[in-house]
Amino acid sequence: MKESNRQEELTKFFKQVKQEFSQMYPELEGLNDEEALEVHRKLIAEQEAENQGRLKEHLEVFTDAVIAIIATIMLLEIPLPSHATSFHAF
């Protein structure tokens, strides 16, 4: 009984995914289940590759920003207050 419920849930989930996929990509609606699954896997692989590229770009931009801030502080030569005995008074 437990196995049949699980099978029904999986079948329902698969139908829902297939329906969402056909709504997102109506031109691929005529494919059978195996073809649709293969196209879906390829699309996911492309999206993952694109996301990894974005992550690298974001890391590069963040690194550039940190370096720019450090260079700006070094160029401005901001002195520490001479009357402060600790950083808490700063």
Total number of domains constituting the chain? 1
Least confident segment among 13-17, 75-79, 83-87: 83-87
Establish if 43 belongs to a structural domain.
yes
Establish if 75 belongs to a structural domain.
no
Which pLDDT score, from 0 to 100, does residue 88 have? 63
Establish if 8 belongs to a structural domain.
no
Establish if 18 belongs to a structural domain.
no
Which pLDDT score, from 0 to 100, does residue 39 have? 81
Residue-wise pLDDT tens digits, 32-59: 778 877 887 888 898 888 888 888 899 9
Which pLDDT score, from 0 to 100, does residue 60 have? 93
Tokens of 20: 């969402």
Establish if 46 belongs to a structural domain.
yes
- Residue pair 4/19 in contact by the 8 Å Cβ criterion: no
Q: Which domain holds residue 55?
A: 31-60
- Residue pair 18/33 in contact by the 8 Å Cβ criterion: yes
Q: pTM of the prediction?
A: 0.42
Establish if 77 belongs to a structural domain.
no
Establish if 39 belongs to a structural domain.
yes
Cα 11 to Cα 19: distance, rounded to the nearest angstrom = 12
Give the number of other Cβ atoms within 10 Å of residue 31's Cβ.
17
